[in-house]
Every structure is written in C-alpha cells, then in structure tokens.
Structure 1
Amino acid sequence: MPESFRVRQLAGMFDVPLENKLTHKFQVQLPSLDDDWQIGMIVGDSGSGKSTVAKAAYGKRLVQRLSWKRDQALIDGFPADIQTRTITHTLTTVGLSSPIAWCQPYGRLSTGQQFRADVARGMLSPGKVIAFDEFTSVVDRAAARFGCMALRRAIDRGQLSKKLVAVTCHRDVIDWLRPDWVLDMNDGQLTRRCLRQGQLDLAIHRCSRELWPLFAPHHYLDGQLNPAARCWVGLVEGKPAVFAATLNNFRKHHLRVSRLVTLPTYQGVGLGGRMLDELAGLLTEEGATHVNISGSHPAVIAHCNRSTKWQFKKLLKTGRQRSGMYRDNPHWKISTGRAVATFRYASPAEVC
C-alpha cells in the first residue's frame, strides 16, 4: 500500500480501513504447464484480478503488446536466429499472410494485423508458454473473431506447438478461440472445455471488376487485373471476404485462376482454400476440362499440397522465362526470378 500524508488523511476523513480494502487475496487453481493443453484463458471483469493471477503464474511470460522498432520491417522484428521461412510460416498460420505486410514497419499495419504479428512473435519466443494480457482488447470484434479462429485452426493442425494463455475481459473470445480451459475470475472457477468450431458460410457469386480495387492492395504481386478476367467474390455474412479471377489458358476449356485474394480480416481461417476448391468445382461443372493455378504464395501451395482435389504438375524454380507469346507481349506480367508451383484441379471422378 502506498504511504503518504494525503493517503492517511483521506483514510481518516472517510474512515476507510486501508489495510483491508487495499488488500486482495486470490486462491485459484490453474492447470500445470506439464498437463495436456495448448490454449488456456483467464477471463473476468475489469478489476477482478486477471492480470494479478496471470503475472503470479507466468511471470515474464505475461506480455501485453510487444515492442517493435519504429522504422524496421516487420520480418526484421523477429530474433535473428529464427529462419525467414519459419517466420513467414508462422505469420501465415496466424492469418497474416501478406508479403506486403511483412515488409512494412509494425506501426503501418492495421490494429488487426498488429495483433496477429504480436501473436506470431509470441509463439516463436523462447519457453513453452506465452500469456497475453488484454488479449484482443485493442482490435475490433471482427478482427478479434477471425484472428482467434486462425490461431485455433493453426494449433489444431499442429502448426504451432507453444502453449498460449489469453487474459481478457471479452467473453466472446471463448467461442472463437475455444480454449482447453477457462479460469473465470468472477467466481474463481476453473472449467475444462471442448467447443466445436462453427462452420463459416461462404457464398460465391460472379461479380464485376469494380470490386477489384478493394482487394488489389492485398495481392502479393501487383494490382493489375487482366481485362479479359472473369471475376468472382466470396461473401461471409454478406460482406466481401475473398476475390478470385479466372482467365482462358490459351486452349478451349482450359482455365487458370489468375487472382486469389483474401482480405486481411478473414485470413488464416481457410476461406481462400475453400474459394479455390468450390470455384474450380463450379468451373468444371460448367465444362472446363482443365483448371490450373500457379503461384508462389505459401498459403496457396500449402493448401494445394494438402488437398486431394489438386494435383501437383510442375515447379519452375526460377519462374517462367520470356518466350513465345510472352516474349511478344513484354507488358505481360510473368514470374521470372521466383519459384512458381503449378497445380491442376482434379475432378471428383479423377479423385475416385
């Protein structure tokens, strides 16, 4: 208790028993770090003692927001002994999958992207556990929802192994993050939970190219869209979330997916992969005999490698060289200088 003349004066004026009123005692139970769990949560109203208990339990592993250098690219804000591939993989798994964002300073990112960057760096920090105080408190609830879903999805897939404890006053996080245990500081009760993740409905529609400017800044190559492209949008709860464009691949009934972009808020929860699968299936039903996608983005490559619906066709380690029609059209964007993997959609008959 802080001692001063004014403190004692106020205590006397209002007859406040300071020793009793300023002392809070907590007796709660937390799972051991050796127990079989990966996500825990300490939840309660403001002033209920969440941070006090978390600090006592996890010490220096309790953080609120991480410190990032002002003018340093996000990718350089991670410890120097961590490989770039590991960093980009972790950023992608928590839903920050834009190489453009990786090259920007932390301060230029949206609050939702900053939240995911903090989680990614925390998950790569030393030790077996990381605890986040005021978890999701600084982001809007949509960003919080999809950020939590991306994190839970990555952990369920075994892509992140560190234990995480979320300390928060927001009870909506429980349904999104699906923690293995919850300590409710309002009543001091510890409960074990096993909640199922609700399925997001993705509605796919043809759209005009007028929607492209909403997605263009988040494409990892450039903001150009071929005038001949057919455009599609994936809606989540009536709002645009994913954009795809297709082009004729120089032969009848041969198509390729030339653009696939998920808005930052919705990244990490599998919407891009679902859009790709369902769109390819729709195009096949409409008569396409070949639907291909070529790209360098780790999320697209990982999805196609995991899925039985896509067959790996080839890998160009240095990209496509300018020859034939590409040499005759130098304004066409090609992949020279970067590795590109090509996959072909397999129809249900081919899968069987």
Structure 2
Amino acid sequence: MQTIDALVECPVSDSFRVRQLAGMFDVPLEDKFQRRFQVPLPSLDDDWQVGMIVGDSGSGKSTVARAAYGKRLVPRFAWKRDQALVDGFGVSLSTRTITQTLVAVGLSSPVAWCQPYGCLSTGQQFRADVARGMLSRGKLIAFDEFTSVVDRTTARFGSLALRRAIDRRQFSKRLVAVTCHRDVIDWLQPDWVLDMTRGELTRRCLRRPKLHLSIHRCSRERWPLFAPHHYLDGQLNPAARCYVGLIEGQPAVFAATLNNFRQNHLRVTRLVTLPTYQGVGLGGQMLDELSRYLTEQGATSIHISGSHPAVVAHCNRSTNWEFRQLLKTGRKRSGIYRENPQWKTSTGRAVATFRYAGRSEEV
C-alpha cells in the first residue's frame, strides 16, 4: 500500500474583474489557489490486476492518477489520419498479436482493422485505444476518462470484454481505469476501487452480470443491420434460414444456416455480432445454443467453416465442437458458386471446419 500526496496549485490573475468578483462573493484572494489530495492506493508490489479510480467531476481523480502513474496515464492515443488501424501499433508487433488483441477487446471486424482510426465509430475507437494501451510498453497502463466518450451500453460490454480477456490471461499488463461512471464497476470487476468522492479505498470481489441471450427465428429483413459487420461480404443466400439473438430486447447476434446437400445436414453460413456486443462471447453462445436447438429439431449434422479468429478460438476451446479439417487455401468454386462468381467463397484463404458434437455452455 502507498499514500499518494498530490498538490494542485493555480496562480490567481490580478485583474479588475477578478477583484470585483472577489468583493461580490467574498472570495479570499491569495497568490495561488491550492488543493491537496492525500489518498491510499495499492502499490505495484501488491497482488492486483485491475484497479479503478472513480469520482465526480472535479473530485481529483485525474490529479491523483497523474501523481501515481505519471506518463502511464493516457487519455487517448494519437493515430495517423490516413493509416490503417493495424498499422497504428508498434512495428515490432506481429499482425497476429495485433488482431488477437483487437478481438480480445471486442473489435472483431477485419473490415474495421483495415480502416483509418478516424473512420471508425466512437465505440470502435474506444476499443482500439484500449487494445493499443494493452500492447504498449511497460507493466501498467492507466486510462483517463475511461468509457466517457461512448454510450453506456458500449461502455458496459466493452468493460466486460476487457475483463474476460484479462481473466483468460490474454493480457499480463495491469490496468487502472479512471472514470466518473460507476455503471462499469460491476462489468470491469476491478480488484480495488478508490472512490474520490467518498475518499474511500475498497477491495472488491464482484460477480459478473448474467447475460440472457434469447434466440428467435427471423426473416431476412434483419440481415441489413448485420451485413456491414460481416468479415466477408454483405450477401445472404436466398435459401438461408435466419435467426437473431436479443440482449435486453435489442438485436445483438445474427446467424443463418443452409442445408448442406443432405436432409438434416446443416452448415452455419453466417454468424455476426454487432460491434457493441463483441468480445463477450455472445457469438459463441449463439452458435452453441442454436446448434443444440437445431439438433433437438432433428438435425443430424451441423458444421461451420470459417477463418475468423474469434470463431476458430471458440470452437477450439469448446467441447461442443470437434475439429474436422483445415483447408490452407480454401475450397475451389463449384456448383452454384461457379455459376455466381460475384459470391465470395473461401478460395485463397485458410479455413477451419468444425462439427457440432455437444450441448450448450454458459458464457
């Protein structure tokens, strides 16, 4: 444990208006305004992974964080205007490391990875900053105004995605979130919280909020909402059966299946999670729950083939899926795909195929 002693000084301008206001409101004029903060904080020698400094505006949270962490406290990162997002990370980092980190924090769209930072949504920019911070040098990163620029749904799910990645030991770096928003505490699950408004330091052991994903059969009219976020293209086979997953009544995940040339043999041809909800396992849950349902309805074989790292990682981890084959250069065009060359296939890229072999698991 350490005690942070931070002193804020501000010189007073000697002007006619300042003296007039001082007389009107009985403000004592001195050479400097001063405010001192003395608070306890866990040190780097203590056992913790995630911390949070929370408080109302003007409570001194940024001042204390700056005194404790210095240059390791960052508000946002500087990104080059015309540079692809993946090129904004350190040159010593591999593309694999960068994309794995982006997926871990919930920025799972390869389309977004290839766009400049300025072209991304505010929520995607927030996750990109988090990813870059977690890949920065040093053993600790502190984010000032954590989640302040995003809507509260994105804030909650972005915090949960980050916490899940930390729990899976995808990051060894320590994280301190500095924020005025208390709604993310239960989702980020910090090991300690310094409340600057109350002047209290507490250690916490929180339970992760339960997410209820309700899955419904839907029409193709749902697809345009999800199409821009699919990593291949926005096309949907006319014969596809469509399903939508709702969180708190709002669409979050989309899946589509096709008959795989034999009765009761199905393949999952589309699986898309909206950016707000990425990184918290909803795509994997949708895949498992839908496959269990389809099996109960008579499906005797369900396959999924893909190259997206999140899908491959889920199927590799889950006991519900068994690995079938890896095609390093994808499948050759045949049948209806040869007749429709505008439809994208896996030709030219590595694709892993998995077969459903189990029951659903909780996220």
TM-score higher than 0.5: yes
User: Partner residue of 2:351?
Assistant: 340
Q: Render the CA deviation track for 1:191-247: whole Å, top value 9, x for unaligned.
A: 000101011000000000000000000000000000000000000011100000000
2:46 to 30, 35, 38: 35
Distance 1:331 1:115, change over 3 A: closer
Native 8 Å contact 1:11 1:18 kept in 2? no
Native 8 Å contact 1:11 1:17 kept in 2? no
Alignment of 1:278-289 (within 5 A): 278-289=289-300
Cα separation, 2, equivalents of 1:200 and 1:5:
57
Q: Render the CA deviation track for 1:280-333: whole Å, top value 9, x for unaligned.
A: 111111111110000000000000000000000000011112356654554543
2:312 to 301, 325, 333: 301
Cα separation, 2, equivalents of 1:191 and 1:283:
47
- The one-letter amino acid paired with 1:89 is Q
2:19 to 4, 9, 34: 9
- The one-letter amino acid paired with 2:19 is Q
Q: For 2:40, what is the secondary structure of its paired residue? A: coil
1:49 to 60, 81, 90: 60
Alignment of 1:218-257 (within 5 A): 218-257=229-268
Cα separation, 2, equivalents of 1:161 and 1:315:
31
Q: For 2:303, what is the secondary structure of its paired residue? A: strand
Sequence identity, in percent? Answer: 78
Native 8 Å contact 2:22 2:29 kept in 1? no
1:88 to 83, 86, 99: 99
Task: State the 1:157 CA deviation.
Answer: 1.0
Task: State the 1:17 CA deviation.
Answer: 3.2
Distance 1:53 1:300, change over 3 A: same
Q: For 2:131, what is the secondary structure of its paired residue? A: helix
Task: State the 1:15 CA deviation.
Answer: 4.9
User: Partner residue of 2:181?
Assistant: 170
- The one-letter amino acid paired with 2:321 is W
Cα separation, 1, equivalents of 2:292 and 2:245:
14
Aligned residue pair count = 348
Alignment of 1:1-352 (within 5 A): 1-6=10-15, 9=19, 13=23, 15-19=26-30, 22-323=33-334, 326-327=337-338, 330-348=341-359
Q: For 1:159, what is the secondary structure of its paired residue? A: coil
Native 8 Å contact 2:235 2:343 kept in 1? no
Give unpaired runs (5+ residues) of structure 2: 1-9
Cα separation, 2, equivalents of 1:64 and 1:292:
44
Task: State the 1:9 CA deviation.
Answer: 3.5
Native 8 Å contact 1:75 1:103 kept in 2? yes
Q: Render the CA deviation track for 1:164-186: whole Å, top value 9, x for unaligned.
A: 11111111111121110000111
Give unpaired runs (5+ residues) of structure 1: none
Native 8 Å contact 2:41 2:201 kept in 1? yes
Cα separation, 1, equivalents of 2:144 and 2:343:
49
Cα separation, 1, equivalents of 2:22 and 2:333:
86
> What TM-score does the superposition give when structure 2 sets the normalisation length?
0.92
Greater strand fraction, Structure 1 or Structure 2: 2
Cα separation, 2, equivalents of 1:34 and 1:5:
46
Cα separation, 2, equivalents of 1:50 and 1:332:
53
